[in-house]
Amino acid sequence: MLKISVPATSANLGPGFDSIGLALDLQLTLTVIGPSQTWQVDHPFGQEVSNDANNLIVKTALSLVPDLTPQRIQVTSKIPLARGLGSSSTAIIAGLAMANELASAPVSKQALLLKATELEGHPDNVAPAILGGLVVATYVDQKVQAVQLPTPDLFASVYVPNEELLTSASRSALPATLPFKQAIAGSSIGNTLVAALAMKNWSLALALLEQDQFHEQYRAKLVPALALIRKMAHEMGLVGTYLSGAGPTIVTLGKQADLLKLQTKLQQNPALTGQYHLLPVDAQGVTVTKS
């Protein structure tokens, strides 16, 4: 039996737009039961997600190995769909990893990263999901460059609103251009964030997470909980709150004890009725076990 586990990811990390991502210990697990006459996908997502060859996991697997023998697979996941925690990326990587394990000539992890990035369009979710931990990545001229930084000694307070926010809607809120001075400011903040993360200067990094110039201010109207949670965290002396991916999930990074207190306070607010998770960083990325 083949089992594949892929972690959720939190991308963008403030000014790290489309380039910085963090793997979190909330898993999608795919189990290959065995060969079948046709593709069968048992999953908990309801009728809106296909359970045959049209399933994203299967379509992704076949994009890597077109002649793959149909299988019956079982998928379990606690990662909410369309919430900014990399649910589509986990499906893509699970499919690629399955195909790679069942293929007669498996490819390298770097090749899987390139394929996943081509399918997803950018590497900020797929890179940490494959490699684990904190990853800075870029995709230019059909080439992916990914650099793993030290795994943060931090936890993530994750607030998931009940309402989904499609990436297409979130993307449409962004401007077509930015003023030159704003772009320079955003770039300098992002560069300094990467330096702080590389040097494990967590206090500086957490402050810089809240200084994005590229996307949060334009998406804020779509996710009113962002300003509310950031304000409540500031009242407790905590910085490090940002919009995860395209939203609407909101993440605050910090020490576990501080985040427990923050979540207790947030849960008392009647406007914040979504789901709460307190997650460590996943340092492994995608894992494969055989039995």
pLDDT band of 81, cuts 50, 70, 90: confident
Q: Identify the pLDDT of residue 167.
A: 78
Predicted confidence (pLDDT) per residue in 118-137, tens digit: 999 999 999 999 999 999 99
Q: At the topology level of CATH, where does 155-280 sit?
A: Alpha-Beta Plaits (3.30.70)
**Annotated binding-site residue? 86:** yes
**Annotated binding-site residue? 81:** yes
Q: Where are the domains of the chain?
A: 2-150+282-290, 155-280
Predicted confidence (pLDDT) per residue in 257-277, tens digit: 999 999 999 999 999 999 999
CATH architecture of 2-150+282-290: 2-Layer Sandwich (3.30)
For range 7-17, the mean pLDDT: 95
Q: Identify the pLDDT of residue 82.
A: 83
**pTM of model > 0.85:** yes
Question: Secondary structure of 103-121 in the HEC alphabet?
Answer: CCCCCCHHHHHHHHHHHHC
**Annotated binding-site residue? 88:** yes
The continuous run of DSSP H or E covering 209 comes out as none
pLDDT band of 24, cuts 50, 70, 90: very high
- Asked if pLDDT for residue 104 goes beyond 90, the answer is no
C-beta atoms surrounding 279 within 10 Å? 21
**Annotated binding-site residue? 220:** no
Helix, strand, coil content of the chain in percent (nearest 5): 35, 25, 40
**Annotated binding-site residue? 50:** no
Separation CA 242–CA 136 (nearest Å): 17
Distances in Å between the alpha carbon of 201 and those of 21, 150, 157, 225?
17, 11, 19, 27
Name the burial class of residue 53, with classes exposed (0-12), middle (13-18) and buried (19+) by CB atoms within 10 angstroms of its CB: middle
pLDDT band of 204, cuts 50, 70, 90: very high
**Annotated binding-site residue? 82:** yes
